[in-house]
Amino acid sequence: MLIVYNTAALAMGLLLDAVLGDPQGWPHVVRLLGRLIAALEKRLYPLKNKRLGGALLCLITVFTATILPALRFFVCYRLSPYL
């Protein structure tokens, strides 16, 4: 039964995204990550050690894209399991 609910939620999300799309003025995670990467590139590109700059860019981006949402979910769960 859980598979049916998950599939229905995925289908509803796909349908809503197709109908509504992403409103232009709203912040979006992908856009925010793109801005983060652009800002980091400006700071890290001038480094002489390009490998270190690339590694830092990758680590900071992956950390931001995984740890921060996980932390948000953890806090919401601690407030209420229904969140």
C-alpha separations of 67 from 61, 62, 73, 81 in Å:
10, 8, 10, 19
What pLDDT digit, counting tens, does each position of 54-67 carry?
999 999 999 999 99
The letter for the amino acid at 6 is: N
Q: Is residue 39 part of a domain?
A: yes
Q: Is residue 49 part of a domain?
A: yes
What pLDDT digit, counting tens, does each position of 25-51 carry?
777 788 889 999 999 999 999 999 999
Q: Is residue 67 part of a domain?
A: yes
In 1-83, the DSSP E strands lie at none
Query: Can you give the residue range of the structural domain that contains 54?
Result: 24-83
Q: Is residue 19 part of a domain?
A: no
Number of domains comprising the chain: 1
pTM: 0.63
Taking the C-alpha atoms of residue 54 and residue 48, their distance in angstroms, rounded to an integer, is: 11
